[in-house]
Amino acid sequence: MAREIVWTKRANNKFNKILEYLELEWGSQVTKNFVIRTYTILDLISDQPEIGSLENQEKNIRGFLLTKHNRLFYRTTTKEIILLNFFDTRSGSKRINF
């Protein structure tokens, strides 16, 4: 049974920033493709929450590579998939905020 997808404020803000960047730098078609890919993967995660790699076992946080430049972090509960953050893999930052 598919679990409900819940967006945190941080995940929503980061997703919108990615969309703004893509629209500005690459245009509407690339932005549209990214949105479609993201929601396709969210549907997949909703049905199969363990598909992402386990990033933090104590907090039950998983990660999934959306594109070669963007990684999604999420937490699973018995009823929900909680989207925590989108992370730019090119940022050079070693610290990932969940």
Q: Which CATH number does the domain housing residue 84 bear? A: 3.30.2310.20
| pLDDT digits 0-9 by tens, 46-85 | 999 999 999 999 999 999 999 999 999 999 999 999 999 9
Answer whether residue 97 is part of any domain: no
What pLDDT is attached to residue 47? 95
Answer whether residue 60 is part of any domain: yes
Answer whether residue 96 is part of any domain: no
With 0-12 / 13-18 / 19 or more C-beta atoms within 10 angstroms meaning exposed / middle / buried, residue 7 is middle
For the entire predicted model, the pTM comes to 0.88
Answer whether residue 36 is part of any domain: yes
Does 44 score more than 60 pLDDT?
A: yes
Number of separate domains in the chain: 1
Answer whether residue 93 is part of any domain: no
Does 93 score more than 80 pLDDT?
A: no
| pLDDT digits 0-9 by tens, 29-42 | 999 999 999 999 99
Answer whether residue 95 is part of any domain: no
Answer whether residue 79 is part of any domain: yes
DSSP labels for 6-31?
Answer: EE-HHHHHHHHHHHHHHHHHH-HHHH
Mean pLDDT of the chain: 92
